[in-house]
Amino acid sequence: MFEGSFVAIVTPMQGGKVDGASLRDLIEFHIANGTDGIVPCGTTGESATLTHDEHDEVVSIAAEVCKGKLSVLAGTGSNSTREAITLTQHAEKSGADGALLLTPYYNKPSQEGLYQHFAAVAKETGLPVVLYNVPGRTAVNMLPETVARLAKIKNIVGIKEASGSLQQISKIIDLCGKDFTVISGDDPLLWPILAIGGRGVISVTANVLPQKVADLCAKAADNNVEEAQALHYELMKINDVMFIDTNPVPVKTALSLMGKISAEVRLPLTALSPENNNKLKAVLREYSLVD
């Protein structure tokens, strides 16, 4: 259901407020450039500092612009189960196609707590649910055995895996079977994850090079190993520079340099340093994204 290249889309901001017009333009850019789906209100969309009203606004814009064109997998996770249910139900009412739910952060639940959290949210929505495991951000790692338990719940259909462990991802694929979709949450590991049975990506890099990321996913799906591998190496430098500072600072700066949005981020994130800005510009020039 959620396969291919999904962009972890940034939330454009201007003067401290969500820039809805620029968000609409960005989505149109993806519609025209091969992206398979939009993921609003993820980490890259600065979900942690959006108000509930802003979160609802961003998801609603994405659902409206993408209707009949691209899938919308709305980020609706929280470290509060009740809040995650509320955000997920709003996404459903807005017309999103699915919900992306990260593991609860900061409170560090047990594996049983993770199971109960996701099961509770899934019970309260008709949307397909994609789990999101990102221990580097949340301080908790959801184990393959827990994922396999959750995969038995009818509307839990996949996982975005950003543990960085190909061994763990392989075990999830092995335990959960072909009907459960594993999606890469790491741009640098996209090709290896596709090679072991992953079926797509939720990508930061796709914000600036949507067609290239979509092409890599398509080549892998067609078993075109040589061309998929070539794209993997072609994208290495830009994948690296997208994380030269805390995400989404580099990607928002890149989009600003490309003339698409303001580079504004919300505290506690701050602007890219002059040194890193110069490094970013140099890489963007290599990919002909700026002059």
Say whether pLDDT at 256 is over 80. Answer: yes
Question: Could you read off the pLDDT of 94-131 as tens digits, one per residue?
Answer: 999 999 999 999 999 999 999 999 999 999 999 999 99
Q: What is the mean pLDDT of the chain?
A: 97
Give the tens place of pLDDT for each residue, 75-101.
Answer: 999 999 999 999 999 999 999 999 999
Strand, coil or helix: 49:
helix
* Among 69, 108, 115, 160, the one annotated catalytic: 160
Which residues are CB-contacts of 248 (< 8 A; sequence separation ≥ 6)? 10, 43, 44, 45, 46, 204, 265, 269
Are the C-beta atoms of residues 73 and 39 closer than 8 Å to each other? yes
160 in catalytic set: yes
DSSP three-state, residue 10:
coil
pLDDT at 154 (0 to 100): 96
Confidence tier at 1 by pLDDT (50, 70, 90): confident
Mean pLDDT of 243-250: 98
Q: Which residue's structure tokens are 């892998």?
A: 220
pLDDT at residue 291, as a whole number = 92
Structure tokens at 190: 């996209």
Q: CA–CA separation, 203 vs 43, rounded Å?
A: 11
The residues with which 130 forms a beta bridge, in sequence order, are 100, 158
List pLDDT tens digits, range 191-220. Answer: 999 999 999 999 999 999 999 999 999 999
Which residue ranges make up each domain of the chain?
4-221
Residues 6+ apart with CB under 8 A from 84: 76, 77, 78, 101, 117, 121
The catalytically annotated residue of 93, 105, 132, 178 is: 132
Tokens for 62, please give them: 């994405």
Q: Are 131 and 101 in contact (CB under 8 A)?
A: yes
How far is Cα 40 from Cα 160, in angstroms, rounded to an integer? 14
Residue 98, token pair as written in the block: 């699915």
Q: Show the DSSP H helices in the chain as ranges.
A: 20-31, 52-66, 81-94, 111-123, 135-138, 144-150, 166-176, 190-195, 210-221, 225-234, 236-241, 249-257, 274-286
- CA atoms 90, 93, 96, 100: torsion sign: positive
Query: What local confidence, expressed as pLDDT, does residue 71 receive?
Result: 97
* Other C-beta atoms lying within 10 Å of the C-beta of residue 288: 7
Q: Does domain 4-221 have CATH number 3.20.20.70?
A: yes
